Every structure is written in structure tokens, then in C-alpha cells.
Structure 1
């Protein structure tokens, strides 16, 4: 009985190790490899995006008090014109690139 339990334990540990390796490979192939492409794109889009937030209202920018409130609340604020999340807006170019890989992996 002890021998069978030891064999079962060894086989189970091997199956778990194989599963972990398989998940790591899938994540690397479908998601991690795309970071090298998406991060520079997001970095180049960040400055114009942030400039747009602080632009004059007539140029599509935010009202100064809303901009100030959003900055004070770590980039997340819901005002009269609806919710704003600077963090999500900055992450959007990365998440757009990773979406298809995420779906393939999971």
C-alpha cells in the first residue's frame, strides 16, 4: 500500500510539473512574447494621450477641475462627464495587442 501511495505521489507530482511547464509555454508563446512589441507602442502613445488630457477644453481636453480631481485620485475619477481612468487609458494599447494572445492561451 505504501509503495502504491509513493508511486501515486510521484506520478501526481510529475503530472503537476508537466502542467505547469505547459502553462508557462502557452503564456510565453501567446502573451509574454507580445510585450516586446506592445510596450514601445504604448510608450510612444502615452505622451500625446497625457497631453490631450491637459489640453484646453476647446481642443478636447478635460475641464481643469476634473483633471485636477482625477490626478489627485490616482488617475481614477467619475465626474459630471462620466468616469475617467488614466491608468486604463494608458494600458489600452498594450491590452489591445495582448487580447488575441490572451484568448488563445485561455
Structure 2
């Protein structure tokens, strides 16, 4: 299964070992955050985890919050709220674009 066209930050191409090196997190910590649903790596046909630069940023944010004593359940709530907000913003953008297209299409039809 291939990944859809994504920005370079969202392409899941980085191995867990490299993520560990970049973040300073242990493999166990990274897997634990996955178990807690804080991060969702891509898995290829053989089950190998692949991460994106966005995932690395999320992991660093999680690690900072954990150092400050924030529980994983609270971090998960925050991540879900951010995702809902992002989805809502995308819905608004889609509706605005559709409205612009509809207005343009109607305007163009009226000229004929």
C-alpha cells in the first residue's frame, strides 16, 4: 500500500531507529507512545514502522510534556482536540472553495 501525495513533512519514510536517534527517545518509549495512540506510524507490508518529520515533531512535543509531568491521557485529549480543529478548518476551506467555484460557474453561465 503506497502513501498518497503528501508534503515532505508528512511522508512516512523514517525508520524507528533514526527517529530514536533524532529524538533521543528509546525504541521502547516510541512504541509505548504508539500503544497509547499518541502517534500512528505507517506500517509497510512487512510491518516495519515508518515515521514522518511531523511524527518526530509530535514525539518531541510529547517528550517535553512528559518531562513536565503531563499524563499520556491528557496529551491524547490535546492531540484529538488539535485534530478536530484542523479537520474543522479544512471543512471551512472546502466550503469556501466550493462556494467560490459555484459562484464562478453561475457567473460564467449567466454570460452565455
**Structure 1 or 2: more helix by fraction:** 1
> Larger RCO: Structure 1 or Structure 2 (Cα < 8 Å, ≥ 6 residues apart)?
1
Structure with greater Cα Rg: 1
TM-score under structure 2 normalisation? 0.30
